[in-house]
Structure 1
Amino acid sequence: MSFDFDLYVIGGGSGGVRAARIAASEYGAKVAIAEEYRMGGTCVIRGCVPKKLMVFASSYGAQIDDARAYGWNVSAGDFDWPVFRARLDAELDRLEGVYRSGLLKAGVTIHDDRAVVEDAHTVRLADGTRHSARHILIATGGHPSVPEAAAAAGVMTSNDIFKLDALPGSVLIVGGGFIACEFACVLNGMGVEVTQFYRGEQILRGFDGEARGHIAEHMREAGVNLHLGTDVMEMRAAAGGTWVMSTDGRERVFEKVIYATGRSPNTAGLGLEAAGVRLGRRGEVIVDGWSQTSVPSIYAVGDVTDRINLTPVAIREGHAFADTVFGAKPTQADHELVASAVFTQPEFGTVGLTEEAAREKGPIEVYATAFRPMQSAFAGRPDRVMMKLIVCADTRRVLGCHIVAPGAGEMIQLAAIAIKMGATKEDFDRTVAVHPVMAEELVTLRKPVRTA
């Protein structure tokens, strides 16, 4: 049987683009990709990249304060959102062009349209056009999920923040995950009055408990009005914004309300179940270690599979898929010891087991320190850095590393290499420190602060 394409990719995000480009340019496959919005997906258009640029923008106010402490005669004016927004839009346009040109250079056919699956080998575009493919790859990512009552009240999500015409004077952020916390810090740094509700006992559920507490304390010190064990009970439109009543009885009108309470896979209306593709409880595509679905010709990578929802993971999954299916190099993406960073202020870098998870696996030693870093201490700020190593008491391998500090994302990338290689605590100890830098503490932690 002949097909129009060897591979048809639905979704132009990081995972789908990588799979399409590698299959076409390195293995000579005839490839098409369909994207209904903008090439680049969540990360490039409405996630990691614009968010990190906002993180940079929001940090300059504190840096100007520090500069005065270091002798510079400078002063900060108001943050000009329209100026930043114009530059941000231009940068996203540039990056989308890079993604698009990369696909075209690889020989990939681009369809700027929504695509759905009709059967194991057929894709239908919104304009009615049908294409057959030997293999279909689902790489449609995810979207912010909002409770029905909140959606009816017209709340914003993280997708909408980048499209604001002006910054609000006040904002309520509902949620305690990394997206909620990152935007709480960003908007606070840009001069917005930020209140954050989280119904749990501590923000950043699933991360190391000690680090979570450290970050929450810093957010409050920086001016974020953080309420734990608190949720929205009722809300409605009001003069000047949205009236909100919380579960602790507080009432307040906020100019904007942003929900960051989770994300869901983009599988609704794709025709997957009708084609025989098995979905999970949250709508995620169920795949095996090869990213293959219950239909042998259909694969899925990235957030739509709800494995590890990180852009670099989606890219690795897309590349492994192309190597396996088109390159005769069977490859499974490695999901063990994946490092990540949360771009709160200060940043949080983490890899491996939390102290809580490690305790359940066997005897451990915990090495930790907290201190005022030289740069901010000189400027008179109360900021504190936290660094922590979790060590297996039997094998001496470092099981986890957690850093809360400026530049923690940069540090954890390098620490992750050593930990991925199986470094022991003694390997860290043998490494001579670089002085004076914050990261030297990772190799000078001599005595455990506790064992379990």
Structure 2
Amino acid sequence: MATNTEPTTGDSMDSKDYDYDLIVIGGGSGGIALAREAAKFEKRVAMLDFVKPTVHGSTWGLGGTCVNVGCIPKKLMHQAALIGQAMKDSEKFGYTVEPSFAWETCIQSIRDYIGSLNFGYRTTMREENVKYINAYGSLLDRHRVKCVNKRGEENIISGLRICIATGGRPRVPDVPGKDLCITSDDLFLRRTAPGKTLVIGASYVALECAGFLAGMGYDVTVMVRSILLRGFDQEMATKIGENMETYHNIKFLRGFVPQEFTNELEGDTKRIRVNATGSGSNAGQAHSDVFDTVLVATGRDPCTSGIGLDTVGVKLDDKGFILSDNEKTNVWSIYGIGDALSGKPELTPTAIQAGRLLARRLYGESTLACDYENVATTVFTPLEYGCCGLSEEDAIARHGEDNVEVYHDHVLPLELVIPRSEEFGFVKVITLKPEQERVIGFHILAPNAGEITQGYGVAMKCGLTKEQLDAAIGIHPTCAENPTTMATTKRSGKELKSGGC
């Protein structure tokens, strides 16, 4: 992309000529982190946040997607599902439990917690001298922002610099009857139980929602057009699908896409009929079924339209994401962080890190930029998938098959041996042979994979090699020890065998 241009004639570099030193548009994790960090340098900071309701009227408070309808409620609902599974497993350990699940109670507990986070953010903004404006912001020029509140009242504010931190929202296919469907923005605020549910999509959001809904006892089907978890390691993605189908009662309808959604009455109950057609090898086939809830999770689009980026000439990619270099756009006074940026991980911690580091570069003496490589993450499916670095496909594409060595092994979680002895996990370590087998990819499917992956991610930042992994002594008996004892490579063709100590 073009280099961030220098100020032009008519642009004042004196912050006194503006209402604020920095205006942040977007009150999610990244925007809040940037605003708070900038305020520490005694800068005048304003942060705008406004949530457009979904077609079902869902809206939420300060904190963005992660806090309100993303990471936080997702992890808590995942935990609710794990508790339900643990109660079923407990019988084999000698307990007598008769579990029942109340959706309303679960949702209320989660919303109460999130409400406390919303309140905490508002309080923190006030205490740290960040001006919080609950209004929709759009650029009028390189320095002025039009603010429109929920009553339609307009106000214009100015800032020497402006940062776009608007994140993204779920993408809904343009199919007749699409307004009958909900997205994750609605699910986490839903007050009534979803019942029999169709999840459309193969993203991590789709699989996570399908997983916890099934764990809570609901009948769940996942409609997949092609592959699971595009962009992730495909061997791991296949194993996740197999695990969900085999051990967690989740049905997969593969090779189909929705064509129409219609209301259908069964007595006094309104349900949704889904008509679908086959894709790929299923071309020409048709499928129809009725569900209580249809959840669409086919990806997310950036919130970059309608906010004036075209007015000031900020460059976007072909999907509407902001092109940037170290969070700088091609317009010198405009910056961007978080999920709205092109080619960056759409993860809360990266947005927070990028926001803090940007503030330190702008107002402190730091030159440190956000490192988007080797960012560890986890997909919270029933058996969690943690990963860091390159997938096997990407490693081979980038470095060549002859330069890549892949170590792999089964993982047998001891906690599952008694109740579910057949449910195995899997681990894969991808190394770069010419660089002393430096670890360039780490993947594990196991309980608590997120907790395991974080440590290995730190090690990869430090240049972890296979020799160092082998020299480490694992904690026994844990799934985390498996990467320290791996000896079988894919190249060898040897059969994997699982055993005890």
Q: TM-score, normalised by structure 2?
A: 0.87
2:229 alignment partner in structure 1: 204
Any stretches of 5+ residues in structure 2 without a counterpart? 1-11, 52-60, 278-284, 494-501
Shift of 1:154: 2.1
Shift of 1:139: 0.5
Q: Pick from 233, 244, 255: which aligns with 2:274?
A: 244
**Equivalent position SS for 2:454:** helix
* Residues 1:135 and 1:153: Cα distance change in structure 2 (over 3 Å): closer
1:81 alignment partner in structure 2: 103
Shift of 1:6: 0.4
Structural mapping, 1:319-358, within 5 Å: 319-358=356-395
1:72 alignment partner in structure 2: 95
* In 2: Cα distance, 1:151 partner to 1:141 partner: 26
Shift of 1:163: 1.8
* In 1: Cα distance, 2:350 partner to 2:203 partner: 19
**Equivalent position SS for 1:295:** coil
Contact kept, 8 Å, 2:169 with 2:303, in 1: the verdict is yes
**Equivalent position SS for 1:250:** strand
Give the residue type in structure 1 aligned to 2:18.
Answer: F
Deviations 1:415-449 (A, max 9, x none): 11111111110000000121111111110112323
Deviations 1:67-120 (A, max 9, x none): 11111222212x101111111111111011122222222111111111111111
1:115 aligns with 2:133: no
Q: Tell me which stretches of 4 or more aligned residues in structure 1 moved more than 4 Å.
A: none
**Equivalent position SS for 2:180:** coil
1:317 alignment partner in structure 2: 354
Stretch of structure 1 that moved more, 301-310 or 401-410: 301-310
Structural mapping, 1:5-44, within 5 Å: 5-25=20-40, 27-37=41-51, 38-44=61-67
* In 2: Cα distance, 1:219 partner to 1:141 partner: 30
Shift of 1:331: 2.7
* In 2: Cα distance, 1:416 partner to 1:380 partner: 29
Shift of 1:451: 6.1
* In 2: Cα distance, 1:424 partner to 1:366 partner: 13
Shift of 1:212: 0.9
1:95 alignment partner in structure 2: 117
1:432 alignment partner in structure 2: 473
Stretch of structure 1 that moved more, 233-242 or 106-115: 233-242
2:450 alignment partner in structure 1: 409
* In 2: Cα distance, 1:206 partner to 1:280 partner: 18
**What RMSD over aligned residues (CA atoms) do the two structures have, in Å?**
1.5
Shift of 1:153: 4.2
Contact kept, 8 Å, 2:177 with 2:260, in 1: the verdict is no
Any stretches of 5+ residues in structure 1 without a counterpart? none
Q: Pick from 173, 176, 193: which aligns with 2:199?
A: 173
Shift of 1:246: 2.1
* Residues 1:150 and 1:305: Cα distance change in structure 2 (over 3 Å): farther
Contact kept, 8 Å, 2:28 with 2:66, in 1: the verdict is yes
Structural mapping, 1:287-326, within 5 Å: 287-289=324-326, 291-306=327-342, 307-326=344-363
* In 2: Cα distance, 1:110 partner to 1:233 partner: 43
* In 1: Cα distance, 2:430 partner to 2:492 partner: 10
* Residues 1:451 and 1:143: Cα distance change in structure 2 (over 3 Å): farther
Structural mapping, 1:132-143, within 5 Å: 132-143=158-169
Structural mapping, 1:47-62, within 5 Å: 47-62=70-85
Shift of 1:152: 3.8
2:190 alignment partner in structure 1: 164
**Equivalent position SS for 2:313:** coil
Deviations 1:3-37 (A, max 9, x none): 11001111100111000000002x11110111113
1:217 aligns with 2:242: yes
Stretch of structure 1 that moved more, 401-410 or 233-242: 233-242
Shift of 1:292: 1.2
**Equivalent position SS for 1:450:** coil
Q: TM-score, normalised by structure 1?
A: 0.96
**Equivalent position SS for 2:385:** strand
Give the residue type in structure 2 aligned to 1:14.
Answer: S
* In 2: Cα distance, 1:284 partner to 1:246 partner: 30
**Equivalent position SS for 1:166:** coil
Q: Pick from 302, 317, 323: which aligns with 1:286?
A: 323
Deviations 1:314-357 (A, max 9, x none): 11111121011111322321111111100001000001111112
**Equivalent position SS for 2:189:** coil
* In 2: Cα distance, 1:48 partner to 1:5 partner: 31
